[in-house]
């Protein structure tokens, strides 16, 4: 859920904007889970996700994962499929 929301955001221009984006996403996720924003990152969002977003690498991470998954899935298909 958090990753999908982060991927929908426009690229950030500054560290301040990145942190504001994270705060907004954490608030959305907390609301959907019926929890508070302070509990959400501690219990529901892995710190690696937050760090990767702040480092600007979340899009590349998803692309690599998607390529691996597609490659693996295609190997499982029969020739006719």
CB 6 within 8 A of CB 53: yes
SS3 letters for the chain? Answer: CHHHHHHHCCCCCCHHHHHHHHHHHHHHHHHHHCCCCCCHHHHCCCHHHHHHHHCCCHHHHHHHHHHHHHHHHHHHCCCCC
Question: Of the CATH numbers 1.10.10.10, 1.10.132.120, 3.40.50.300, 2.40.50.140, which one belongs to the domain with range 2-76?
Answer: 1.10.132.120
pLDDT digits (tens, 9 = 90+) for 27-75: 998 898 888 998 878 888 888 888 888 887 676 666 666 677 777 777 7
Phi, psi dihedral angles at 9 (to 5 degrees): -75, 150
Q: Comparing C-alpha atoms, which of 39, 14, 40 is closest to residue 25?
A: 40
| Domain coordinates in residue numbering, the chain | 2-76
The whole-model pTM stands at: 0.64
């Amino acid at each position: 859920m958090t990753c999908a929301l982060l991927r929908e955001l426009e690229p950030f221009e500054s560290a301040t904007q990145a942190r504001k984006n994270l705060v907004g996403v954490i608030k959305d996720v907390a609301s959907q889970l019926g929890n508070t924003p302070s509990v959400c990152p501690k219990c529901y969002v892995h710190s690696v996700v937050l760090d990767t977003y702040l480092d600007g690498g979340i899009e590349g991470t998803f692309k690599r994962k998607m390529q691996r998954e597609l490659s693996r899935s295609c190997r499982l298909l029969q020739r006719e499929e």
